[in-house]
Amino acid sequence: MKNNLQRENGRWGQRVLMPEQDHHLRCRNFDEVNLGLSEEAAIAEARRCLQCKSAPCIAGCPVAVDIPAFIAAVAGTRMAEAARILLADNTLPAICGRVCPQEEQCEGLCVLDRKGQAIAVGYLERFVADWALRHPEQLAPTVIPKASGKKVAVVGSGPAGLTVAGELARMGHEVIIYEALHDTGGVLRYGIPEFRLPKEIVDIEVARLAQLGVCIECNVVVGKTITLPKMRNEHDAVFIANGAGLPTMLNIPGENLKGVFSANEYLTRVNLMGAWRQDHATPIPRSRQVVVIGGGNTAMDAVRTARRLGAARAVILYRRSEAEMPARIEEIKHAKEEGVEFVMLTAPLEILGDNQGWVNGLRCQAMRLGEPDTSGRRRPVPVEGKVFELEAQVVVNAVGTGANPLLTATAPELGLNRWGNIEVDTTGQTNLAGVFAGGDIVRGGATVILAMGDGKRAAGAIDTYLQRCKGRPLM
Amino acid sequence: MFEIIENTILAPNVHRLVVRAPRIARVRQPGQFVIVRADVHGERIPLTIGDADMAAGTITLFVQAVGTSTLQIVHTPVGGALQDVAGPLGSATEIEQWGRVACVGGGLGTAVLYPLAKALAEAGNEVTTIIGGRSAPYILLEDELQAFSRKVIVTTEDGSHGRQGFVTAALQELMEDPRRCPAVVFAVGPVPMMRAVCELTRPERIRTIVSLNPIMIDGTGMCGGCRVRVGEETKFACVDGPEFDGHLVDFKLLTDRLSMYREEECRMLSQLPEELRNQIVTVRR
């Protein structure tokens, strides 16, 4: 089989393509864009894997999934085994298979990537995870281990919180997650849109945790409803993963005009509050021309959402060039296919408004790339005299988020860095005994999988800590 | 789910709800609010915590039905439940001993004012309360405020109760009397009222605290939808407020931003049965 493929498609065969919803249709609906591989396509793709002994792909995975092993199982059509291997290392594979930046991780290190034909690890992960969701009867039943008698509180039910909870529950610890919003999932629910990550997937992953005995309490704002010291006294350990929920302001004139949103607000209205659906009460403006400022995944999510809400012209405004964009390659490709316009090397100077206080455009400065800055990317510098205007009825600021001080402000003894992020060691331990942290509250704005990696590492450290400690240290 | 223990009508379309929320009851402080969602399709609505009973594990909310979501909240019967109640959110009122304090409330603002006035009185301040409304039925909590105020002055636009006119006239008189002139003014009500109070106190340099009610989503500082301009800074009312120095607040911006979803609100209202719609339109004017 492998030899046939090699003859047909060059020596290493062609990387499989992801079947997608037609872009003419999908830019007007919220259904998932990627349709998932067929079993035949998945098996063929798995059979391209060289099964390298050194397995560089594993080193690229923040949760160290045994990638060659699960791919070998798919190649041998042993799907239940593939699912078992995948789920042993990754609590949320159906989510990672959809939102991980694989090109920078496993696939970026694949030997075949040099030929531009890296194994589609992400597609295969999603295939196996979705197969597992459809065939629960073929998976080993959930075994709830003997209770350790230890109780851990987790702040936030986003990717870091869900991962740490799953890992700790499998170790026999009692876990309770406190979620500030009215629904679970954190950024998976309020941030990432339905067309990229159907909320049904989040529901199923959360339900799986519930089966393990994890309890999730919504509407509990840690720092307000309960304090960190109180939580610490009532549990044997605490893991803080409350995310990077603080929008970075542009600090340019016109930012407070009506129709100017932070990406957090724009996406929360649509995703968490269901503003795109007729049966939900929360409104969102459906405007003709929408400009989104920023070049990351959040910017792509916002601009593609704007298209789906009916924008005839949806624009990405980015101060560097496309090569420097932090967004996943797939998101950029999808956005372009959906008719999103990319205005590169442009920085906003001012947001313009009408006499009713509504935004009606942006005054922009053309930029060019100068010398590399501390991040290694070439610094954008203004091109003198090149200023122009863009029309817009909605402007979304997606330049980034910072650390939300709501929790940390009420726990002054917790060590923070100068940006307000919680400081931790390599295991996720903070300066307070028994208090661990991970995800965006530690990293600033990062990815789902890095947050999950933090959760997984911290779970190991928390387990070690719980086995060592006898009582609850007082704060 | 958060059970409704009591639901009483205080004024046309204004209800007092007592809701079981023990965690919030235990820690809430005057000036703080909760975010409420009536059901799984509802909006997140910020509501001031009017009072709390720690022993009973309940909080009191004063809700005016001004749109479909608030209508749904006030129509939740006793024994029914609100889907979500999150809080307490926002910063607590800075309660100090200032001596003479004037508390000025307009319309539903009086309900927001009530916990502040009570806390100020309990801290040993001499509280004069001025409350206003369109006409007698719209005057809220007069007896409750009387319990701890040195004096309660009522104003109505039509003169049907108390003095005819606006709260500002009563405040001005107070300010002109050296024996009664307040050291600090707390003003809560419709934006034009708060703005008028601030313009009155500004030349006299009387510290004036207002409580702002911009449009909000999460209430935890995550979305920035509730941003307000205070002096040279943009603040988030949900975490930095809701109370601010009124002399620094950009009321025009607040008014503008509050009108953001007027079209959608009108469309939603037009879908209501006529009787309910008329009630709300009367209240909103």
What is the pLDDT, as a whole number, of residue A115? 84
CB A86 within 8 A of CB A46: no
Three-state secondary structure call for residue A453: helix
Do A395 and A406 belong to one domain?
no
Q: How far apart are CA A110 and CA B76, in angstroms?
A: 58
Do A81 and A111 belong to one domain?
yes
Provide the angle, in degrees to the nearest 10, between the axes of the packed helices A79-89 and A121-134.
Answer: 110
Match 């002054």 to its residue by tokens.
Answer: A412
Do A30 and A111 belong to one domain?
yes
CB B238 within 8 A of CB B224: no
Q: Could you tell me the CA-to-CA distances from A309 to A68, A275, A331, B266 in Å, in that order? A: 41, 10, 18, 20
Last residue of a domain, one of A138, A164, A189: A138
Q: How far apart are CA A473 and CA A245, in angstroms?
A: 29
Which one of B59, B83, B218 would you mutate to disrupt binding with A, by most A Cβ within 10 Å of its Cβ?
A: B218
CATH superfamily of B2-89: Translation factors (2.40.30.10)
Closest of A409, A218, A468 to residue B239, by C-alpha: A409
Closest of A228, A13, A273 to residue A118, by C-alpha: A13
Model pTM score: 0.92
Looking at the domain assignment, is residue A89 inside a domain?
Answer: yes
Do A457 and A348 belong to one domain?
no
Q: Check CB contact under 8 Å for A356 and B221.
A: no
Do A282 and A168 belong to one domain?
no
Q: Using beta carbons and an 8 Å cutoff, which residues of B are at the interface with A? A: 23-24, 27, 37, 41-44, 68-69, 83-89, 217-225, 227, 229, 234, 239, 253, 256-257, 259-261, 264-265, 268
| Contacts with A199 from chain B: Cβ below 8 Å | none
Over its length of 475 residues, how does chain A's per-residue pLDDT go in tens digits?
Answer: 444 444 445 567 899 999 999 999 999 999 999 999 999 999 999 999 999 999 999 999 988 999 999 999 999 999 999 999 999 889 899 999 998 889 889 999 999 998 889 999 999 999 999 999 999 889 887 778 889 999 999 999 999 999 999 999 999 999 999 999 999 999 999 999 999 999 999 999 999 899 899 999 999 999 999 999 999 999 999 999 999 789 999 999 999 999 999 999 999 999 999 998 888 888 999 989 999 999 999 999 999 999 999 999 999 999 999 999 999 889 999 999 999 999 999 999 999 999 999 999 999 999 999 988 887 888 899 999 999 999 999 999 999 988 888 899 888 999 999 999 999 999 999 999 999 999 999 998 888 889 999 999 999 999 999 998 765 554 4
Q: Is the dihedral of CA B104, B107, B109, B112 positive or negative?
A: positive
Residues 6 or more apart from B12 whose CB is under 8 A from it?
B137, B138, B279, B282, B283
Q: Using beta carbons and an 8 Å cutoff, which residues of A are at the interface with B? A: 180-182, 218-221, 224-226, 245-247, 249, 255-259, 261-262, 264-265, 268-269, 273-274, 279-283, 356-357, 404-406
Looking at the domain assignment, is residue A1 inside a domain?
Answer: no
CB A298 within 8 A of CB A399: no
Residues 6 or more apart from A464 whose CB is under 8 A from it?
none
Do A179 and A304 belong to one domain?
no
Looking at the domain assignment, is residue A13 inside a domain?
Answer: no
Number of domains into which chain A is organized: 3
CB B56 within 8 A of CB B99: no
Domain boundary assignment for chain B: 2-89, 91-177
Q: How far apart are CA B47 and CA B56, in angstroms?
A: 20
Q: Check CB contact under 8 Å for B225 and A356.
A: no
Three-state secondary structure call for residue A200: helix
| Contacts with A245 from chain B: Cβ below 8 Å | 218, 220-222
pLDDT digits (tens, 9 = 90+) for B152-166: 999 999 999 999 999
User: Nearest CA of chain B to the CA of A317: how many Å?
Assistant: 20
| Contacts with A281 from chain B: Cβ below 8 Å | 41-43, 68-69, 268
Q: Check CB contact under 8 Å for A265 and B83.
A: no
Do A179 and A38 belong to one domain?
no
| Contacts with B44 from chain A: Cβ below 8 Å | 182, 273, 282
Do A109 and A29 belong to one domain?
yes
**In this structure, which topology does domain B91-177 adopt according to CATH?**
Rossmann fold (3.40.50)
CB A438 within 8 A of CB A164: yes
User: Nearest CA of chain B to the CA of A280: how many Å?
Assistant: 5
What is the pLDDT, as a whole number, of residue A470? 62
Closest of A362, A400, A333 to residue A260, by C-alpha: A362
Do A366 and A384 belong to one domain?
yes
Last residue of a domain, one of A116, A138, A160: A138
Nearest chain A residue to B72, by CA? A281
Closest of A46, A91, A461 to residue A57, by C-alpha: A46
* CATH code of residue A179: 3.50.50.60
Last residue of a domain, one of A380, A399, A418: A399
Helix (H) or strand (E) holding A360: strand A359-372
Q: Could you tell me the CA-to-CA distances from A296 to A367, A370, B47, B258, B265 in Å, in that order? A: 18, 21, 35, 30, 33
Do A229 and A267 belong to one domain?
no
Do A174 and A302 belong to one domain?
no
Alpha helices for A92-198 (secondary structure H): 93-99, 106-109, 121-134, 159-170, 187-190
Q: Omega before B242 cis (within 30°)? A: yes
Q: Residue A379: which domain range?
A: 249-399
Go through B159-169 and write b for each residue having 16 or more CB atoms within 10 A of its CB, e for each that does not: eebbbeebbbb
Do A450 and A391 belong to one domain?
no
